[in-house]
Structure 1
Amino acid sequence: MAGMSQGNSYPEYGSTHSLSPTFGVSHTNTHTAVPQSAEVDVWHATVDALLIRVALIDSETRRINESSDQRGRSWALPVEPAEQARIPVWTSRREWLRQFRHHIDTPAGKTLCARRLIKPDKAYAVAEAHAHFAESHTGRGVTAAKSTIAARAKVSESAVNRARRVLIDLEMGIEHVRGRNLKTLEFLAAEAHHGGQQHRAASSWSLSSPRCIVEATPLAKSPKKRPSRSAERTARYRTRKALRTGSIALDQPNQGPPATTVADTLSSVGSLSCEVLPLGRTHQRARAWTPPPPRKKHTTAAKTPRPLGLQRAAAELINDAPALSPPGHIGAVCDILQNAGIDPTRWTGRDIARTLSRDTAQRGWIWPTAASLSSPLAYLKRRLRSIDWTGKSPSEQRKAEDLARRKEQKQLETTHEERAKAVANPEHRAKALASIRAHLADKLRHQRH
Structure 2
Amino acid sequence: MAFVAAEAATANRHTGRNVATSHDTLARTVGRAKITARRARALMEALGCLVTIRTGRYLLALERLEASDHHGGQQLRAASLRALNMPETLGTVTNEHLATASRLNPSTYQLKHSPKSGKPHSEAASRPQHQRQKAKFQPGPYEPRPLAVQKLAAALVYEIPWLPRETSTLRVQRTIHRSGFDAERFSYADLICIWFELDKELHQTPKEAGAVNDPEAYLAARMKLAANYVRWFSTVPAREQP
TM-score by length of 1: 0.20
Bigger relative contact order, structure 1 or 2, given CA contacts below 8 A and separation 6+? 2
- Bigger helix fraction: 1
TM-score by length of 2: 0.35
Which of the two has higher C-alpha Rg? 1
